Amino acid sequence: MSRPYVIDQMISAKSIAARIESLARDIHAAFDDTDKLVVVGLLRGSFVFIADLVRELDLPVEVDFIEASSYGDGMESSREVRILKDLRGTIEGRDVLIVEDIVDTGHTLSHVTDYLRSRHPARLKTIALLDKPARREVDFRADWTGFEIPDAFVVGYGIDFAQRNRNLPYIGQVRFTDDA
């Protein structure tokens, strides 16, 4: 049986919206001369963030998605990342922005960035809404980060706990209520 828990709000919907407006201005400045920016969402957790972010970008944008899955083999530092669903479009010679919900150990975004860079995009940048630097296992940092957070169990705004709570409009922290 699953443990009982409550969700405490950590980052409000209003704070997220304000931060996205600011991030969009930075992205706009970096890509203001682009003929087309391919915005790549990393499924599934990024689906809410990418939806809000692209609507703040006053640029010619194409939206595509990629899905990766990481799994342990007992040694976390050698964690493999598999591509489960690849892009529909080509990115060679294109400007690309990879959109991620959270960077934790860093394996997923680091791997996907290398994977897409091997297709020779013109420019490739990364953005993550949340960053948990305390959990990092590989030397990776997104070009833009929404919020740095402590090593807490977070849900909402696309992020799940056992496939639930992705639909919360804010970032919440899971607190188990059966703790001593």
Q: Where does this chain bind ligand PRP (CB under 6 A)?
A: 42-45, 69-70, 100-108, 160
Minimum CB separation from ligand PRP for residue 78, in Å? 13
* Residue placing its CB nearer to ligand PRP in the complex, 25 or 164: 164
Interatomic CA distance for residues 66 and 112, integer angstroms = 9
| Burial of 43 from C-beta contacts in 10 A (0-12 / 13-18 / 19+) | middle
| Buried residues in 77-110 as b, exposed as e (16+ CB within 10 A) | eebebeeeeebeeebeebbbbbbbbbbbbbbbbb
**Residue (of 19, 52, 48, 24) closest to 149 by Cα position:** 19
Phi, psi of 146 (to 5 degrees): -75, -55
Minimum CB separation from ligand PRP for residue 112, in Å? 9
Identify the residue whose tokens are 């997923």. 108
| R_g over Cα of the chain | 17
* Residue placing its CB nearer to ligand PRP in the complex, 106 or 146: 106
Of residues 95, 101, 104, 131, which has the active-site annotation?
104
Minimum CB separation from ligand PRP for residue 45, in Å? 3
Minimum CB separation from ligand PRP for residue 169, in Å? 17
* Residue placing its CB nearer to ligand PRP in the complex, 120 or 164: 164
* Residue placing its CB nearer to ligand PRP in the complex, 14 or 135: 135
Identify the residue whose tokens are 């304000």. 18
CB 146 within 8 A of CB 130: yes
- Catalytic annotation present for 32: no
Q: Which positions are catalytic? A: 104
